[in-house]
Amino acid sequence: MTVWNQLEPLLGKVQKPARYIGCEDGSQTPEHTPEAAAWLLAYPDTYEIGLPNQGLQILYEIINERADGVAERTYAPWIDLEAEMRAAEVPLFSVDSHRAAADFDVLAFNLSAELTFTNLLNMVDLAGCPVRSADRAADDLLIGAGGHCTYNPEPIADFLDFVVLGDGEEVVGRITEVVAAWKADGKPDRISIHRALAGIDGVYVPALYDAVYGDDGMLLETTPNDPAAPDRVEKLTVADLGEWPYPKQQLVPLTEVVHDRLNVEVFRGCTRGCRFCQAGMITRPVRERPAEQVRTMVAEGLKRTGYDEVALTSLSTADFSGIEEVVRDTVNDPDCGGQISVSLPSLRVDAFTVGIAGEIQKARRTGLTFAPEAGSWRMRQVINKLIREEDLYAAVRSAYSQGWRRMKLYFLTGLPTETDEDTLGIATLARNCIEIGKEFHRNPSVTVSLGGFVPKPFTPFQWFGQNTREELQRKIFLLRDELRRDRGIKLKWHDPKASVAEGILGRGDRRLGAVIEDVWRNGGTFQEWSEHFDLDRWTAAIERAGLREEDLVYRHRTEGEVLPWDHLSAGLHKDFLWQDWRDALDEVGLEDCRWTPCYDCGACTGYGIEHVVASAVPPAGGSQGTGQDRTHGGEVPVTLLPTNRRDPVGAGTA
pLDDT digits (tens, 9 = 90+) for 309-364: 999 999 988 888 878 888 888 888 777 656 788 888 766 777 676 677 667 666 55
Query: Dihedral through CA 646, CA 647, CA 651, CA 654, nearest 10?
Result: -30
Q: Which secondary-structure segment (H or E) carries 569? A: strand 568-569
For position 365, what pLDDT does the model report? 59
pLDDT higher than 60, residue 596: yes
Which pLDDT score is estimated for 638?
A: 29
- Which of residues 74 and 395 earns the better pLDDT score? 74
Q: Alpha helix locations (H) across 283-404?
A: 291-305, 323-331, 354-360, 377-383, 389-401
Which CATH architecture is the domain 261-506+573-585 placed in? Answer: Alpha-Beta Horseshoe (3.80)
pLDDT digits (tens, 9 = 90+) for 120-155: 999 999 999 999 999 999 999 999 999 999 999 999
Beta strands in 184-326 (DSSP E): 203-204, 209-213, 219-224, 233-234, 262-265, 267-268, 287-288, 309-313
Identify the pLDDT of residue 338: 60
Report whether pLDDT(607) > 80.
no
**What per-residue confidence (pLDDT) applies to 528?**
96
Instruction: State the burial class of residue 501 (Cβ atoms within 10 Å of its Cβ: 0-12, 13-18, 19+).
Output: buried
pLDDT at 634 over 70: no
Rounded mean pLDDT, 191-214? 98
Average pLDDT over residues 512-538: 97
pLDDT over threshold 50, residue 637: no
- Residue 498 CB-density burial (10 A; 0-12 exposed, 13-18 middle, 19+ buried): buried
Are 4-233 and 261-506+573-585 the same fold in CATH? no
pLDDT, residue 636, reads 31
104 — pLDDT class (breaks 50, 70, 90): very high
- Amino acid 369: pLDDT: 85
Domain spans of the chain, in order of start: 4-233, 261-506+573-585
Does residue 422 have a pLDDT over 60? yes
What's the one-letter identity of residue 385? Answer: K
Give yes or no for residue 616 having a pLDDT over 90: no
Q: Is the pLDDT of residue 632 over 60?
A: no
pLDDT at 339: 74
Mean pLDDT of 542-551: 96
pLDDT at 510 over 90: yes
| Contact indicator for 290, 276 with CB cutoff of 8 Å | no
CA distance 133 to 162: 10
Q: How much is the mean pLDDT over the chain?
A: 90
Q: How far apart are CA 299 and CA 342, in angstroms?
A: 12
Q: Which CATH class is domain 4-233?
A: alpha beta
Q: What is the pLDDT of residue 353?
A: 67
User: Residue by residue, what is the 3-state secondary structure of 547-566?
Assistant: CCHHHHHHCCCCCCCCCCCC
